[in-house]
Structure 1
Amino acid sequence: MKQRPAADLSELPTFGLGPRSPTWWGTLAFMALEGTGFALAAGAYLYLAYVSPEWPLGVPPPNHWPGTIVTLLLLASVVPNHILNRYAEACAMVPVRIGLIVMSLLGIAPVVVRWFEFPALNIYWDTNAYGSMLWVLLGLHTTHLITDVGDTLVLTVLMFTRHGYSGRRFGDVGDNVFYWDFVVATWIPIYLLIYWMPRLD
């Protein structure tokens, strides 16, 4: 039996960007799961604040300056992050390499400040329920922050090797940009809960 192709697919691209990429959907699923974890932790924090006679429990509110510096650094990273995304969509190698270096530095900076943020909470994780929830909230976000910075550093290195010339790597950069937006967005409500809710009273 003679066979003939029904359609010529040779001209189709070998990779996709954004929602056309399976890894983008995987990243979205990760964000949904992790966002649920953040919501549960925030709900536990708010419940404890509601049932407690005073909030915070037996300690002054945390020093907000380290957390505020982290917030400003994260917000400042949003613009170069989206510029990097445009270069990745255009598959522009040199600008992508420069953008990844910039984003690596902008990712490392809040991690360094975060080192000083834990002591500024004015309470240890095992002091009481309030201290435990502060450390859980900050610890969860720190895990996401370090994970994404690590991913950015790996991508930066790959883009300077022969592996970077695979078009799929530009899709990986786009997914990394997408996840960094999630890291920034989830920090804002956590920042308000940790540093400003105890000051409402």
Structure 2
Amino acid sequence: MKQRIVLDVSKLPLHGFGAASVTWWGTLGFMLIEGTGFALVIAVYLYLMSLAPSWPLNAPPPDLLAGSVMTVALLASVVPNVLVSRWAQQQDLRKVRIGMVVMSVLGIVPLIIRVFEFPALKVKWDSNAYGSVIWTMLGLHTTHILTDLIDTVVLAVLMFSRHGDNRRRYGDVQDNAMYWNFVVAAWLPIYGCIYWLARI
């Protein structure tokens, strides 16, 4: 059997950015699945709220301070996150290294705030259905913050290694930045449910 070259693709890059990257599609798939999980827990919250004679059940509304500080911290982290993504697109190693260190620190801040947020709920997870659903909301979101923090720290270390300055790693940094934006966006409806719907 004779082989015939139809198209020479040897000069194409091995890795792409955005939709040209397989990992971008994988990250998008994770976000869709995890976003569905957040939507389901919010639907459970709204369902329980519609059945309850009063809401919250046998508990005062949560304190606003910790949740509001969390919201401000997460929204503020979007600015350096977008910059890191742009620097990765430009393949600027020095700026990406700085940005990844900054984002690693900014990933720790919400976990510290979250330590104060759970007691501010003023209800235990096993007190009733209300307590269970809001602890589940915060628990799910905390898991996502922690997951992205681990990914960010690993990528930051890689960017300071000999593996850092290559197209694939820059694509990974962009995917990580996209996921962090998802973590921030997912928090906003959860914040509204836990802290403001309880006050209606």
SS at match of 2:59: coil
**Distance in 1, Cα, partners of 2:38 & 2:92:** 35
Gaps of 5+ in 2: none
TM-score (norm 1): 0.96
Shift of the 132–3 alpha-carbon distance from structure 1 to 2, 3 Å rule, reads closer
User: 1:69-90 deviations in whole A, cap 9, x for unaligned?
Assistant: 1100000011111111110001
Give the Cα–Cα distance (whole angstroms) in 2 for the partners of residues 151 and 16 of structure 1: 20
How large is the RMSD of aligned CA atoms in angstroms?
1.2
Q: Which residue of 2 aligns with 1:124?
A: 124
| TM-score normalised by length of structure 2 | 0.97
1:102 corresponds to:
102
Q: Does 1:80 align with 2:77?
A: no
AA in 2 matched with 1:52:
A
1:160 matched to 2:164? The reply is no
Shift, 1:2, TM fit: 6.5
CA deviation profile, 1:114-157 (whole Å, cap 9, x unmatched):
11111110011000000000100111101001100110011001
1:19 and 2:32 are equivalent in the alignment: no
- Show the counterpart of 2:52: 52
Offset of residue 5 of structure 1: 3.2
Structure 1, unaligned runs of 5 or more: none
Identity, % of aligned pairs? Answer: 58
User: What number of residue pairs does the alignment pair up?
Assistant: 200
- Distance in 2, Cα, partners of 1:2 & 1:42: 60
